[in-house]
Amino acid sequence: MKYPIFLCFTATVMSILLSGCAPVPDQLTPAISATPTVITNILESTNTSESSIISSQTSTSIPVAVAELKCPSLDSDMQFNFSSDPTIFETSVLNYLNMGGDPSKIEPTSSPPEVPPFYIAVADLDGDLLSEVVVSTRDLFEQQATIRIFRCGHNNYRLAKSFTRQSMSFGIIEFVTNLFPSESHFVIIRATRIAGWGQDYIAVGWHDSEWKIINLATGTTPSEIALFDQNMDGTKEVYIKTKTSATPGGGISRVVLDSYSWNGKEFILAGSNMPPGSDRVHFLQDAESAWEQGSPLLAVSYYEVAARDSNLSSYWTTYELINKQISLAKPYQQAYAFFRIVAIWLYLDRPEVTSHYIQEMSDAFPHGTPGNEFVLAARELSNWYEKNSDFFVSCGKAVDLLDAQYPDIIRNHLGDWGVANPMYFATSDICKLK
């Protein structure tokens, strides 16, 4: 009677063992690893990696099947057969990778063109410990620049995602880094626009359970980017060094440092700063910005540099250029800077401070020399302020003097420095203190 019971128990155990060895379906969604492997475009990709997939439908300790994730083994002798035909480029890349080609060697076998037609990055972007291959092409190579992500899994590569941005001329792969906590890495790309001088920085990678392009920042040519977790919240901020303008009518450009922060949905502009420029117009701009930000003494300091530093260049107005008077840019800008210093101190109700500035500008711009017009305006402003202590009434008298005797002084010699710089359109603009 014991034998039937033993056979029944044995059959039950065998049934459980056999059911535990049933095939396990492929993992379709990339798994994010806590410590991802990052490989740049000049390094060799990871070849193999194993990942155990445990069935969620069994509570026994019996081992289940292991699904092996790996990339094709590398063949160091294989060469990539470059084709300029865009219709077969994608296929040629896949064939090369699946036959064991080294991703870092995906490049033209002939002499390189003046500008490379495509760019390569090799890195683990989805945290499965296997490297994706990112290929960015030019619009000269295809109708539009395209970014492709090739992903390997069960000993072969496939196209995981393709992005085509209508305005992108080409995307230069800059570097690979992480952006968010507990997520894998992103490829950072500098995307030059088809028209104009704009440059968009984008991040390509796996985010919110899909392959995505995340816009980071926008600048002009040339520009540089850096990513840094400034507030230590785990998400990096974006910093870009660019130019204020690079378009016709922009005038003399200068460096601007923009910062962008993540608001949960996108990176938005958080602030801008400009290091000291090399032109007198830049210091006039910095003085105005300092005043608008509520720092009158900083504004005076910038105006003092513009008024006294003879080594600064002085960007000319359109009138000065056309009429071959660019030598007048320096004295008129210096004299105007002195006038603004006098105006600020009177606005602050400190007339006793202005006398030595008026004397200094009188010595620098005597009667009959360019810039003396602002000496006369400063004296008019000071004299009227002594009578009624009303800044705007007094400054209005200085404006009346210039309009009566030198009506074109502002239009011809101040403010017409391009949209990237301070602009003045009327004589009364010299009295604007917000």
Residue in 130, 131, 260 with CA at minimum distance from that of residue 203: 260
- Structure token pair of residue 70: 């790996």
Tally of residues, the chain: 434
What is d(CA 279, CA 312) in angstroms, rounded to the nearest whole number?
5
- Quick one: what percent of the chain has pLDDT higher than 90? 64
- Quick one: what percent of the chain has pLDDT higher than 70? 80
What is d(CA 251, CA 327) in angstroms, rounded to the nearest whole number?
17
Per the DSSP assignment, residues forming a β-bridge with 227 are 238
pLDDT grade, residue 32 (50/70/90)? very low
> Beta-carbon neighbour count of residue 355 at 10 Å?
12
Higher pLDDT, 252 or 150: 150
Residue with tokens 């620098």: 364
Where in the chain are the domains? 86-273, 280-431
3-state secondary structure (DSSP) of residue 73: coil
pLDDT computed for residue 212 by the predictor: 96
Residue with tokens 């010699």: 413
Residue with tokens 């077969």: 88
Torsion angle (degrees, nearest 10) of CA 381, 386, 391, 392 = -70
pLDDT computed for residue 115 by the predictor: 56
pTM for the model stands at: 0.75
pLDDT computed for residue 250 by the predictor: 81
pLDDT in tens, 234-272: 999 999 999 887 666 788 889 999 999 999 999 999 999
pLDDT in tens, 104-117: 888 765 555 555 67
pLDDT beyond 80 at 12? no
pLDDT grade, residue 419 (50/70/90)? confident
pLDDT computed for residue 181 by the predictor: 93
**Within the chain, what is the greatest distance between any pair of CA atoms?**
131
- Structure token pair of residue 6: 């033993």
What is d(CA 346, CA 360) in angstroms, rounded to the nearest whole number?
17
Mean of per-residue pLDDT scores for the chain = 83
User: For 54-68, 146-160, 201-215, which range has the lowest pLDDT when averaged over its residues?
Assistant: 54-68
DSSP string computed for 360-429: HHHHHS-TTSTTHHHHHHHHHHHHHHHHH--HHHHHHHHHHHHHHH-TTHHHHHSS-S-TTS----SGGG
Residues 6+ apart with CB under 8 A from 339: 361, 374, 377, 378, 381, 430
Read off the DSSP letter of residue 85.
-
3-state secondary structure (DSSP) of residue 106: coil
